[in-house]
A and B are shown apart, each in its own frame.
Chain A
Amino acid sequence: MGTYLLRKSVSFITVLFVVSLITFVTLQVLPGDPALLILGTESSPQALAALRSRLGLDRPAAVRFGRWLVNFVRGDLGESVRYNIPVSTLIRQALPVTLNLALWAVALALAGSVLVGVLSAAYGERWWGRLAGVLSRLAMAVPQFWIGILLIQLFAVKLQLLPAGGFADWRSLILPVLTLALPRTAVLINMVQVGMAGALRADYVRTAKAKGLPWGKVLFKHAFINGAIGVATAAGIQLVQLLAGTIVVEQVFGLPGLGQLLLNGVLQRDLPLVQAVTVLGAVGVLVTNLLMDVILAFLDPRVRFD
């Protein structure tokens, strides 16, 4: 387990470095001048030059990247070219929104998929097991933002029950969390079902049943664990997609989270901001994967000795 984690950590850091390098190189090549964007169309060439020099845009790229890297490790994420305040402040303000959104959606997706998956695998032959299957198929196919739009129309406009957008209080998160969780839950339900179905058919389960072990114990100890392994294997990818989905969902509901910050940063060529949020996003993704790998290793002894 120890070497396993060590290996994972090393690749974690390597990938992070590569990610920030790619991001930096990408953003250097584009047309668009951050100084012009900040000062606007009415500014003088002198003011533009002064700002460019203040932002260090006139130094060679390699130097700038090097400095950025060093600062990042120290925790200094630079100053936003657009808002003139430290990037870390912007991120700190936006992070709670996205974290809440993502974590609640993850919780909902995991809980929902396990619940529905277990029930439908156990009682799969009944009609509502199949119905769950069909519905989850559908939920996977529908575009996330469309669900969001429809939910807004139904709950915010017609029924006036929930707010339509913006981040006022916890009620503002209900629709976004639902929107985000739905497609992922559907996929995970599928995973659970497949995992459990496979487990339930296995010989050792039939043996256990034949030996007269209580059905509930069999269900939990063997089938459920296998189902959970199935989820853990797939969950990594699903959770990554969920994190990516926050960008679109934040747009639909006007939530001031990291996704909106990133989108605005990209459109404004706010290099320090985009750099920081992208790398942070990658960190989130990699941490999630690492977590799932650890859980998987915990559940499935076969993985540990790979």
Chain B
Amino acid sequence: MKPETIGLVLIGFIMVLSIGAFFYTPYDPEHIAVLERFRPPSREHWLGTDHLGRDVFSRLAVGARWSLLIGGLGVLIGGMLGTILGAAAGYFGSKLDELLMRSADGLYAFPVILVALLAVTVLGPGSRPVLLAVAVGNLPVFMRLARNQVLKIRNEPFVEAARALGASERRILFCHVLPNAAPVLLVQAVLSLAGAILAEASLSYLGVGIQPPHPSWGRMLREAQSFAGLAPWTVLAPGILIAATVLGFNLIGDRYAQGR
């Protein structure tokens, strides 16, 4: 079975799960029933219950929505902004290029987690600092990529031809260069999404990401850690799901990235 097919299957499954969760979950993910705590997986609770008696499956399904939303939005914002800046750098060159690339280098010095921690101190814990951190983290990546793509493409023959025919620089940029750069950027977006999901999970694990009572995969692992021996399913299920999602995106992205 081809790797990208596996990837598509995994992502497809996660998508169905998270979208389906809008309409139906076996239980209310936030419903506490302390007498039902630590039930192992069964027909009533497909993945068992956690330390407060909440249904793990329902929480995972709703948590998927949050992870994908935050990851997706962060990559979108960071990606678009980065692309614009990078394309400008590549297209207009010289001083602007220098300035933007130096800034990108500077941003590289800030690992996503560090940005998130600083954002947390300003905004308080929650989904916003995570979003900010993911966006900022992707900025230099897309800047560099867009810039390099633009540099490569602007000297292609068909672009020269367009210029010879009298097309304005602006028209060339938007109608010829960027559309050709798009595939590569999209692939990067997919790969970045994988990283964003991991980042969100890590931040929620540290306690500074998505806050209760909203379910979040990372936070579920944080709460489950104390009970790993007592209720292993509370630790295994979220971890496997995170891995599956990230793997899925990586497989898809890698297949098409090879063309790079």
User: In angstroms, how far is the closest chain A Cβ from the Cβ of B138?
Assistant: 13
Which residue from B106, B124, B198, B206 sits with its C-beta under 8 Å from A15?
B106
Q: Is the interface of A mostly helix, strand, loop or mixed?
A: helix
Q: A141-B243, A157-B229, A278-B114 are in contact. Are A19 and B250 (CB under 8 A)?
A: no
A244 at the interface (CB under 8 A from B): yes
Which of A100-108, A114-122, A143-151, A214-222 participates in binding chain B?
A143-151
Which residue from B109, B194, B232, B238 sits with its C-beta under 8 Å from A286?
B109
B97-132, CB under 8 A of A: which get 1 and which 0? 000001001101111111001111110100000000
Which residues from A are CB-within-8-Å of B34? none
A143 B111 Cβ-Cβ under 8 A: no
Which residue from B111, B228, B243 sits with its C-beta under 8 Å from A142?
B243
B121 A26 Cβ-Cβ under 8 A: yes
A291 at the interface (CB under 8 A from B): no
Of all chain A residues, the one with the shortest Cβ separation from B245 is A141
A207 to B117, CA, bound (A): 53
Q: A143-B202, A266-B117 are in contact. Are A19 and B106 (CB under 8 A)?
A: yes
Q: Which of A21-41 contact B (CB under 8 A)?
A: 22-23, 26-27, 29-31
A61 at the interface (CB under 8 A from B): no
- A-B pair count, CB < 8 Å, reads 119
A167 to B62, CA, bound (A): 38
A241 to B137, CA, bound (A): 11
Number of interface residues of B (CB under 8 A): 40
Which residues from A are CB-within-8-Å of B124? 31
B221 at the interface (CB under 8 A from A): yes
A162 at the interface (CB under 8 A from B): no
A14 at the interface (CB under 8 A from B): yes
B251 A278 Cβ-Cβ under 8 A: no
B105 A143 Cβ-Cβ under 8 A: no
A51 at the interface (CB under 8 A from B): no
A80 at the interface (CB under 8 A from B): no
B108 A240 Cβ-Cβ under 8 A: yes
B111 A153 Cβ-Cβ under 8 A: no
A263-306, CB under 8 A of B: which get 1 and which 0? 10010010000100010011001100100000000000000000
5 example contacts (A-B, Cβ-Cβ < 8 A) are as follows: A19-B106, A23-B118, A149-B221, A149-B225, A241-B111
